Amino acid sequence: MKHFTCVHDIGDLEVAVKEAFEVKKTPFRWDTLGKNKTMLLIFFDSSLRTRLSTQKAALNLGMNAIVLDVNQGAWKLETERGVVMDGDKPEHILEAIPVMGCYCDVIGVRSFARFESKDTDYREVLLNQFIKYSGKPVVSMEAATRHPLQSFADLITIEEYKKTARPRVVLTWAPHPRALPQAVPNSFAEWMNAAGYDFVITHPEGYELDPAFVGKATVEYDQRKAFEGADFIYAKNWAAYAGSSYGKVLSRDRAWTVDAEKMALTNNAYFMHCLPVRRNMIVTDDVIESPQSLVIPEAANRVVSAQTVIKRILSTEIAI
Ligand code: CP
């Protein structure tokens, strides 16, 4: 594997999950694979889980890890070509990226959608600049349109807990006070479709995701109907995608909050969320604290997904 930005980079999912289970069982078996290699983690946006789990994954493989918060202590970066740089940004990303590439062997990048331009967000301009100019393998730690390390961890978690070969998995929109990117739901949809599960997406009208990510999923506007018979409920907020509403909050309707009454409609479903989660907006206290809540095992599996991905990248580099 050269870069990791989406489900297509991981290849056969059954093979990948099997490998992830091996990594989980024996995390230190490959602790010399990354000897004298450096993982650089670049954060343009905040993080708790991704920051810690990706560092831990690199350390388990014997790598060094360096973390840079671009907005805290680094020079402010200009991203557009052709700009006369007489403002408050003293460095251009087109020098900064290759310089970062000089200091490491693998680069992880986190940068959310900016909601200034759907075209810029959905062309993944920043992530692709890292791929083009760093000269190093790039791991997406959540980009504008996808969060593949999260989705891989979600898949591993579902495979661990599922009771049937093809579980019914429901992605539900839930309210949030702020406009959030579509990266997590897009990516989750992409991975659930690739896994071949019975996959349903439910959201209020106006919150339709990019059809390229919805794929074969059933879209059900009635949340209660969607919950019937579900084995897994995956809650997430996202801002509108379609048309001129792109990046806007159209609803904060708490009738969409996941609560115990709705969970009772399911097949004793597990509750999942990528975290951080706004309690009693997205999900009620009793549901997230219930024995069916998988939010902590799901977060723990972020180390497993990251380590499996970095291990593959290091193995590829050694083989070249
Ligand atoms: N789920 C997730 O990516 O969490 P962080 O934003 O804290 O990294």
Same domain (yes/no): 132, 247: no
The Cα 246–Cα 179 span in angstroms is 10
- From the CB of 230, is ligand 1 less than 6 Å away? no
211-229 burial string, b = 16+ CB within 10 Å, else e?
eebbeebeebeebeebbee
Ligand 1, atom 3: nearest CA belongs to which residue?
50
Are 241 and 313 part of one and the same domain?
Answer: no
Ligand 1 atom nearest the C-alpha of 110 is: 8
Q: Are 42 and 181 members of one domain? A: no
Residue of the CA atom closest to atom 1 of ligand 1 = 274
Question: 251 CB less than 6 Å from ligand 1?
Answer: no
Q: Tokens 């200034």 map to which residue? A: 116
Residues 200 and 99 in one domain: no
Kindly state whether residues 112 and 171 are assigned to the same domain: no
Residues 283 and 156 in one domain: yes
- CATH number reported for the structural domain that contains residue 211 in this entry: 3.40.50.1370
2 is a domain residue:
no
Q: Is residue 176 part of a domain?
A: yes
How far does the centroid of ligand 1 lie from the alpha carbon of residue 294, in Å?
15
Same domain for 168 and 111: no
Pocket lining: 140 vs ligand 1, CB cutoff 6 Å: no
Residues 117, 210, single domain; the answer is no
Does one domain contain both 117 and 190? no
pLDDT given for residue 263 in this prediction:
98
pLDDT tens digits for 67-78? 999 989 899 999
User: Does residue 150 have its Cβ closer than 6 Å to ligand 1?
Assistant: yes
Residue 67 lies in a domain: yes
Same domain for 200 and 139? no
Q: Which of 43, 45, 48 to mutate to test the pocket of ligand 1 (most atoms within 8 A of CB)?
A: 48
Measured CA to CA, the distance from residue 60 to residue 39 in angstroms comes to 12
pTM: 0.97
Output 316 or 108, whichever has higher pLDDT: 108
**Residue-range definition of the domain harbouring residue 82:** 7-146+302-319
Ligand 1 centroid to 299 CA: how many Å? 9
Q: From the alpha carbon of 275, which atom of ligand 1 is closest?
A: 1
CB of 47 closer than 6 angstroms to any ligand 1 atom: yes
Task: Give the number of C-alpha atoms closer than 13 A to the C-alpha of residue 302, restricted to the C-beta side.
Answer: 23
In a domain, 1, yes or no: no
Atom of ligand 1 nearest to the CA of 299: 1
Let me know whether 182 and 229 are in one domain: yes
In the prediction, which pLDDT does 83 show?
95
For residue range 138-191, list pLDDT tens digits in order: 999 999 999 999 999 999 999 999 999 999 999 999 999 999 999 999 999 999
Averaged confidence pLDDT in the chain:
97
Same domain? 118 vs 227: no
Give pLDDT tens digits for 277-299.
999 999 999 999 999 999 999 99
